[in-house]
Amino acid sequence: MMAPQKRSAAEAESLLVGVKAIVFDIEGTTTPITFVKDRLFPYVRDNIEKYLTDKYDDAKKDKEEGVDGAVEIPEADAGKEEVVKGVVANVRWQMDQDRKSTELKQLQGHIWRQAYESGEVKGELFEDVAPMVRMLSEEGFVLYVFSSGSVESQKLLFANSTEGDLTDVFTGFFDTTTGAKTDSESYKKIATEINIPAEEILFLTDLPAEAEAAVAAGWRSALVIRPGNDDLTDEHLQNFACIEQFDELYGDEDDEDIKRLHQEDNGDAEDDEDEDEVDEEEDENEDDEGDDA
C-alpha cells in the first residue's frame, strides 16, 4: 500500500471557490522560521537591556505626565539597574520557554520597531508571497493576518519587507489579544469582527493544531509546507489540502493567470510573441522567394 501523498495543486483549485477572506499565519507560512528564530529573537536578546534602560525613565515620566496608554513601571525597593536586570532575566527565560504571552509579544514588537526603523532588519518573505498577496487583493479577496506575534510586529514586518511596504493589501491584523491560535473561539471572534461567514474564510498556516482549531470554528484551512517547517504526518497530509506555494491556491485552472503574474514585470511573454510573429513572417518571405525562383 502506497503512503499517503500531499494533495496535488490540481486538487487545490477548489480552495478559493466561495472564499471571500484569506487569513495568513506568518512564521513558517509567509516568512521563514529561520528569520524569526535566527534574526528577530536574537535581536531582542541582544538589545533588551539597552532598550529597557533607555525607556525606564521615559516610562516613569510618561506616567507622571498622564500620557495616554503609558505603562507604569512598578515601584521596587531595588534601584533602576536591579529592576532592569530582573526584567531582562525574566524576558529571556520566557523566550527560552517559547512562551507566547501577549505582554512578551508586545515588548518584542516595541524592540523590533527600533530594528526596522533603523534599517538593521528587513522583513523576510518567501519569494512567492509578495506577488501573490498583491494579486489576491487585486482580485477582490479580503486579506488578514493572525499571528502569535503582536499586531505591531506584524505591521512592522510587512511595512519593512524585502519586497517593500505590503501593509496596504491587508485589511486587518490579529494577535493573541484575540485568543490562542489553537483555540477555536479565537477564530469565531475574528469571523464576528470581520463580519464574514466562517465558511467563506480560508486560513493558511504551517501548524496542524491551528488549522484544526480554525476548522472547528467553521473556517476552511490549508497547510503550507515550507523549508524548515516541521514535517507533517500522513494523517495531516490526508486531512488537509497542502500547498508549497501560494499560487497553488489557484490550481490548474488559472495557469494563464499565474504565467501572467510571473511575466508582468519583465514583458517576456509579449517579447516571445513578437519574436514568433517575426519568425513566421521570415518563413513566409523565404517561401515566396522560393516560388519566384
pTM of the model: 0.69
Tell me the backbone φ, ψ of residue 284, rounded to 5 degrees: -65, -40
The number of beta carbons lying within 10 Å of the beta carbon of residue 195 is 7
Task: Please give the full DSSP string across 100-127, using - where no structure is assigned.
Answer: --HHHHHHHHHHHHHHHHHTS--B---T
According to the model, what pLDDT value does residue 279 have? 55
Helices (H), the chain: 33-35, 41-64, 80-96, 102-118, 129-138, 151-159, 184-194, 208-216, 234-239, 255-263, 268-292
What the block records as the C-alpha cell of 81 is 539597574
According to the model, what pLDDT value does residue 57 have? 62
pLDDT in tens, 35-72: 988 888 888 888 777 777 766 665 555 556 665 544 45
Per the DSSP assignment, residues forming a β-bridge with 22 are 143, 202
Q: Between helices 255-263 and 129-138, what is the axis angle to 10°? A: 120
Tell me which residue has cell 498622564.
66
According to the model, what pLDDT value does residue 36 have? 85
Per the DSSP assignment, residues forming a β-bridge with 247 are none
Which residue ranges of the chain lie beneath pLDDT 50?
1-12, 69-71, 254-271, 273, 278, 293
